[in-house]
Chain A
Amino acid sequence: MLSLAQLSPGHRARILQIPPEKKRLLALGLRPGAVVEILLKAPLGDPLEVRAGEAYLLVRRAEAKGILVEALSVAEPHELPPVRPTR
């Protein structure tokens, strides 16, 4: 199974499983069933910026490894169509 840490910027995924003791991640909105999008990686490669709903979150790699997901789009980031319609 994929973990959130294995995805690259531009990818979207649905969270399948997250350790229930990770209360802060859960409270921030990273819960089973939520759809997330990887926006970018920090200049030093860690952490990740992730969008969950309307929230922008910083998630460390070490923690992203514990979040199991299914990828929703597998295209290369620059080939991705805009995620949201532009006006």
Chain B
Amino acid sequence: MNCPRCDPPDNAALEAPSTRTKRWALVGGPNTGKSSLINALAGSQLSVGNWPGTTLERLSARLDLGPTQVELVDLPGTYSLLATSPEEALVARELLQHPPDLVLNVLDAGNLERSLVLTLELTELGLPMVLVVNLLDEAEAKGLKVDLEALEEALGLPVAGTVASRGQVAAVLPKAKEARIPSPKVRYPEPLEKAVDHLGPWIPNRGLALLALMGEENLPLSQEALEAVQRARESLKRMGHDPYLLALEGRYQKAREVYERAVHRQGSSAPLTERLDRLVLHPLLGLPLFLLALFLTFRFTFALSAPWVDFIGRTQEVLAGWSGALPLPPLLRSFLAEGLVAGVGTVLAFTPILFLLYLALAFLELSGFLARMAFVADRAMQWAGLPGKAFIPLVLGFGCNVPAIYATRALSHPLDRLRVALAIPFLACGARLPVFTLFAFVFFPQQAPLVVFGLYLLGLLVGLLTAFLLGRVLRADRGEGAMELPPYRFPPLRLLLRLSSARTGSFVQGAGGPILLAVLAIWGLLHIPLLGQSPYALLAQGLTPLFRPLGVEDWRLVGALIPGFVAKEVVVGTLGVSFLGGETLAPMGLWEGLRNLGEGLVQATQGTLQGLTSLLTVNLSLTPEPTPLQAALKEAASPSGALAYLVFVLLYTPCVSTLAALRQVVGLRWSALAVGYQLSVAYLLALLAHRVVP
């Protein structure tokens, strides 16, 4: 069974005292509870970042083991080292190019046979390993008894049994001390073994040789080795063998053998998951239940966060009022109040929304509901060439684009993530609504709701078309839509809270700086005089000729688009200031400010409680109060110009925070491209709108 070339078991590497931080990698299938495990092992030390050079999420934690420090890293869930998505490709790349000091292979006790297929593949890499059989409780509920000792014996590796969601992980660390480099366990059919032997001189690592033979293309191999692989693959094919199927067959056979030795069935019942699925995915009930879940997610994220966003806005006013009362030159006061405080406030205002969104998403994902929602929505999303899971970020986009873009991280294929993330900015978020209603009631009083609805629809169409076309451009074959429906689970609340706060923190760190800078830049544009005039007015007047073909000829309208680049919330306010004259900063005393804050806190708490009890209600108010601004606007454009303006506001870059989110999710290059694309689409469709409407 043992391969003659492989190293003997070696414990020295693990026991040698060393001051350097050791890296332990968690490798396992999707839904095997790896994040629960890392949470149970390391507690509060959880952190979320990106894998270097990628936009894939990297979950890690520090572990203090007396003399040694360990960095636990959660690799993306995968069924095999032979990747079917870039996320899975990362697993093989990390293991081969930055070999960890220890591989913690996490197995699903309830689906041990398939988990073992990956384990067998991992034993071929020559890395120290320990097996963690997680979800023992679920296996038991299924009537499966896993004999851990028999498993140790069959594989020659230490095995720890855990129920990570309940914190039962005590066996892991002692077993990790016994970790060793396994000998390969699978004896493949003769032709494949021969091919591996034949590749020996070029690729001594058995695991690497097998991966290459099976058709994995992105491997760290020399040109000569690649040619040898190509020859071996061709000769196998000539003999009528598919190397991938041969290897899979060998592994499944061995996995079955081990499974039968280690798992005993003690009677069984139709699992709860199967019975729940009959209800949740019912032909008639399924769709309404799906819409209800979608609606609840939306309301949870936006209704519960609104009071806290208001509170942050209020804090911002108080801080601005305080800085207004400081004995400083007016320009500096304004910088503090309208630049710095406003900038930090803009960043912080997203944190309640993101925290709740991450909480909702983590719950949906870890409980198994997200996969069911994807299942129901899959058919509809196939029209746009997207997976079912894409539905959720798209719906969230109507609330706020920023959390929606982060929600695309639930999509397992980075290309799908990119396509949905680039579609989202076209969706009419809540901040665009005040602009729509203002203009719609001024210029189309009879059909205002229709115009607003039409804009929402246009945004959705442009977004979906973008995703569809991008799919056509970037990928010839549509990939595979198959995915696993994990069993229903109660995710541990602590894990949900920790994941959500770590992810929210990653937003503040990664996106906070750029947003702040952009707000400060706009402040400078508005307030620092240049040649005796505000650079804002100069820029707006300079841009106006560009907008003439759209029927937008008033520079004040064009000007409002500039701060609108930072946040759509300020468009109406900017219009107010430039049409009706500025408002002065109201200074605030210390006590007045504190009282204000106290009131705000009480209101926010009340608002949250009210929000909880009214999660299922909707309030739609479209009628704005008549204002002097409306009268002033009436003179500033023609109806067709106003419509073009609205189309442009709908489709051009929504806000700098969306850009910062895009940069974190799809990278700088795509974000820059997205801005150019958004501006061109907005301009062209606005032009069209101006031409179509008389």
Q: Are B269 and A59 closer than 8 Å at their CB atoms?
A: no
CB of B677 closer than 8 Å to a CB of A: no
Instruction: Determine how close the nearest CB of chain A comes to the CB of B538; give it in whole angstroms.
Output: 55
Most B-side CB within 10 Å, residue of A22, A32, A53, A82: A53
Tell me, in angstroms, the Cα distance from A57 to B375 when the chains sit together: 10
Chain A residues, CB < 8 A from B484: 28, 55-58
Q: Are B269 and A86 closer than 8 Å at their CB atoms?
A: yes
Q: Are A41 and B481 closer than 8 Å at their CB atoms?
A: no
Query: Which stretch in B18-26, B110-118, B590-598 binds the other chain?
Result: B110-118
Picked from A31, A55, A82, the residue with its CB within 8 Å of the CB of B248 is A31
CB of B618 closer than 8 Å to a CB of A: no
Chain A residues, CB < 8 A from B474: none
CB of B7 closer than 8 Å to a CB of A: no
Picked from A32, A44, A58, the residue with its CB within 8 Å of the CB of B485 is A58
Q: Are B244 and A23 closer than 8 Å at their CB atoms?
A: yes
Q: Are A47 and B378 closer than 8 Å at their CB atoms?
A: yes
Chain B residues, CB < 8 A from A57: 482-485
CB of A27 closer than 8 Å to a CB of B: yes
Q: Are A25 and B480 closer than 8 Å at their CB atoms?
A: yes
CB of B252 closer than 8 Å to a CB of A: yes
CB of A42 closer than 8 Å to a CB of B: yes
Tell me, in angstroms, the Cα distance from A25 to B380 when the chains sit together: 21
CB of B65 closer than 8 Å to a CB of A: no
- The 8 A CB mask of A39-68 against B (1 = contact, 0 = none) is 111111111010101111111101100000
Q: Are A42 and B375 closer than 8 Å at their CB atoms?
A: yes
Instruction: Determine how close the nearest CB of chain B comes to the CB of A54; give it in whole angstroms.
Output: 4
The residue in chain B whose Cβ has the minimal distance to the Cβ of A20 is: B242
Interface positions, chain B 368-422, Cβ under 8 Å from A, are 371, 374-376, 378-380, 382, 388
Chain A residues, CB < 8 A from B281: 40, 42-43, 49
Query: Which stretch in B272-280, B521-529, B631-639 binds the other chain?
Result: B272-280
CB of A81 closer than 8 Å to a CB of B: no
Picked from B111, B481, B487, the residue with its CB within 8 Å of the CB of A63 is B481
CB of B16 closer than 8 Å to a CB of A: no
Most B-side CB within 10 Å, residue of A22, A25, A27, A44: A27
Count chain B residues whose beta carbon lies closer than 8 angstroms to a beta carbon of A. Answer: 51
Chain A residues, CB < 8 A from B112: 54
Q: Are A43 and B284 closer than 8 Å at their CB atoms?
A: yes
Most B-side CB within 10 Å, residue of A28, A29, A49, A57: A28
Picked from A20, A40, A42, A55, the residue with its CB within 8 Å of the CB of B278 is A40
- The 8 A CB mask of B240-272 against A (1 = contact, 0 = none) is 001011001100100000000000000111100
Q: Are B79 and A84 closer than 8 Å at their CB atoms?
A: no
Picked from B85, B244, B252, B378, the residue with its CB within 8 Å of the CB of A58 is B378
The residue in chain A whose Cβ has the minimal distance to the Cβ of B283 is: A43
CB of A24 closer than 8 Å to a CB of B: yes
The residue in chain B whose Cβ has the minimal distance to the Cβ of A32 is: B245
Q: Are A49 and B378 closer than 8 Å at their CB atoms?
A: no
Chain A residues, CB < 8 A from B382: 46, 60
| CB within 8 Å for A25 and B269 given contacts A44-B380, A47-B379, A60-B382 | no
| CB within 8 Å for A47 and B481 given contacts A20-B245, A39-B277, A60-B382 | yes
Instruction: Determine how close the nearest CB of chain B comes to the CB of A21; give it in whole angstroms.
Output: 9
Q: Are A42 and B378 closer than 8 Å at their CB atoms?
A: yes
Chain A residues, CB < 8 A from B242: 20
Q: Are A22 and B113 closer than 8 Å at their CB atoms?
A: no
Chain B residues, CB < 8 A from A43: 281-284, 286-287, 290, 376
Q: Are A28 and B380 closer than 8 Å at their CB atoms?
A: no
CB of B316 closer than 8 Å to a CB of A: no
Q: Are B482 and A29 closer than 8 Å at their CB atoms?
A: no
Q: Are A58 and B379 closer than 8 Å at their CB atoms?
A: no
| CB within 8 Å for A56 and B485 given contacts A26-B248, A27-B80, A45-B379 | yes
CB of A87 closer than 8 Å to a CB of B: yes
Q: Are B482 and A24 closer than 8 Å at their CB atoms?
A: yes
Instruction: Determine how close the nearest CB of chain A comes to the CB of B512; give it in whole angstroms.
Output: 37
Q: Are B110 and A84 closer than 8 Å at their CB atoms?
A: no
The residue in chain A whose Cβ has the minimal distance to the Cβ of B245 is: A20
Instruction: Determine how close the nearest CB of chain B comes to the CB of A42; give it in whole angstroms.
Output: 6
Chain B residues, CB < 8 A from A30: 482
Chain B residues, CB < 8 A from A85: 267-268
| CB within 8 Å for A53 and B113 given contacts A24-B84, A43-B376 | yes
Chain B residues, CB < 8 A from A46: 378-379, 382
The residue in chain B whose Cβ has the minimal distance to the Cβ of A82 is: B270
Chain A residues, CB < 8 A from B286: 42-43
Question: Apart from A20-B245, A60-B382, A60-B481, what 5 extra A-B contacts exist at CB < 8 Å?
Answer: A26-B244, A43-B283, A43-B376, A44-B378, A56-B274
A/B interface sample: 25 pairs, CB < 8 A: A20-B244, A20-B245, A24-B84, A25-B480, A26-B244, A27-B82, A28-B483, A30-B482, A31-B245, A31-B249, A31-B252, A40-B281, A42-B286, A42-B378, A43-B283, A43-B376, A44-B378, A44-B379, A47-B375, A54-B111, A56-B273, A56-B484, A57-B482, A59-B482, A62-B481
B residues touching A (Cβ–Cβ < 8 Å)?
79-80, 82, 84-85, 110-114, 142-143, 242, 244-245, 248-249, 252, 267-270, 273-274, 277-278, 281-284, 286-287, 290, 371, 374-376, 378-380, 382, 388, 479-487
A residues touching B (Cβ–Cβ < 8 Å)?
20, 22-32, 39-47, 49, 51, 53-60, 62-63, 82, 84-87
Instruction: Name the 3 nearest CB pairs between A and B, nearest first.
Output: A44-B379, A43-B286, A27-B79
